[in-house]
Amino acid sequence: MTILEGKVALVTGASSGIGRATAKVMAAHGAKVVVAARREPELASLVDEIRSAGGEAALIRTDVTQEAEVKAMVEFAVSEFGRLDCAANNAGGGVPSNADWPEADPEAFLKTMDLNTTSTWYCMKYEIAQMLKQGGGSIVNTSSIAGLRAGTGEAYASGKYAVNGLTAVGAAKYGTQGIRVNAVAPGIIEAGGWAKRFSEDPALNTTWNEAIPAGRTGRPEEVGEAIAWLASDASSYVTGVVLPVDGGNVITINRPDSLA
């Protein structure tokens, strides 16, 4: 089912992991996709993959912590495909940490907040401006289950809680102008840092499998499908939601918090 047929989509953090999977899923659902990230060679290979599968895609190297580059990114999407119907603000990062707070590095805290929160604010600023010109659109931010419960480092968790706040305010403020804003909160996904940790310690994956109600960790494509649905007209009466995509991890009490 091509739920994004005829739509123009923008995906940040698209060079790897959830972002890369999301771009491929959205293209498979019929969207013309603009992919953005800092690593241009990875973006180029992604564009080649999408085009080889019969989709349309374009790339722009972007550091989403830089406002001017975010502005240029949105302008590029519009110049390339004529409009911007949906955006997946996926770029982010920072390793969850249980380090003692009094010993935490202020510079690392601010960098993590910039990467997760300030970048989302920049993206929403220019995406909303474009969508207001068009009469509507759909934005999906990538949060985390770290933004739904305590259990990780204060920098990463605070950044993701803030993404939830931006999502709620954007939805409330622009709903009557045709703009929906939602977020996904991925759980333990076999991508990025988690994939590396599981590769180094296979027993860790087993531990998480036993703690998650679904009995397994997730795949990046599963997050991509949730993002595509929220971005599409199929979810037309859904806004302001932070949707966990976590196999039930956030609701269970037998999670290995010491490993978060």
Query: Domain ranges in the chain?
Result: 8-192+221-244
Residue 253: which pLDDT band, with cuts at 50, 70 and 90? low
Strands 56-61 and 242-245: unpaired
DSSP-assigned letters across all residues of 204-247:
HHHHHHHHSTTSS-B-HHHHHHHHHHHHSGGGTT--S-EEEEST
* Mean pLDDT over each residue of the chain, to the nearest integer: 93
**pLDDT confidence of residue 243:** 98
Q: Are 121 and 92 in contact (CB under 8 A)?
A: no
- Which pLDDT tens digit goes with each residue over 80-104? 999 999 999 999 987 555 678 888 8
Lookup result for tokens 């993002």: 227
**pLDDT confidence of residue 132:** 98
Q: DSSP 3-state assignment of 8?
A: strand
* Count of other CB atoms within 10 angstroms of residue 238: 14
Spelled out in words, what is the top-level CATH class assigned to the domain 8-192+221-244? alpha beta
Helix (H) or strand (E) holding 1: none
**pLDDT confidence of residue 96:** 54
| Residue 240, pLDDT above cutoff 90 | yes
Query: pLDDT > 90: what percent of the chain?
Result: 77
| Residue 18, pLDDT above cutoff 70 | yes
**pLDDT confidence of residue 258:** 47
Query: pLDDT > 70: what percent of the chain?
Result: 94
Helix segments in 82-186, DSSP class H:
106-113, 119-134, 154-174
Lookup result for tokens 């994939």: 195
Q: Which of 13-17, 42-46, 208-212 has the lowest mean pLDDT?
A: 208-212
| Mean pLDDT to the nearest integer, 175-189 | 97
**pLDDT confidence of residue 197:** 83
Q: ∠84-180-27 over CA atoms, to 5°?
A: 45
| Residue 152, pLDDT above cutoff 80 | no
Q: DSSP 3-state assignment of 58?
A: strand
35: burial class by Cβ within 10 Å (0-12, 13-18, 19+)? buried
| Mean pLDDT to the nearest integer, 64-81 | 98
Half-sphere exposure at residue 129, Cβ-oriented, CA atoms within 13 angstroms? 11
Q: DSSP 3-state assignment of 7?
A: coil
The verdict on whether 156 is a catalytic residue reads: yes
| Residue 259, pLDDT above cutoff 60 | no
Task: Give me the catalytic one of 156, 161, 174, 237.
Answer: 156
- Which pLDDT tens digit goes with each residue over 187-219? 999 888 878 888 888 888 888 888 899 999 999
Which pair of tokens denotes residue 23? Answer: 């771009």
Q: b/e map of 162-177 (b: 16 or more CB within 10 Å)?
A: bbbebbbebbeebeee
Residue 130 and residue 112: Cα distance in Å, rounded?
A: 27
Q: Which pTM was predicted? A: 0.94
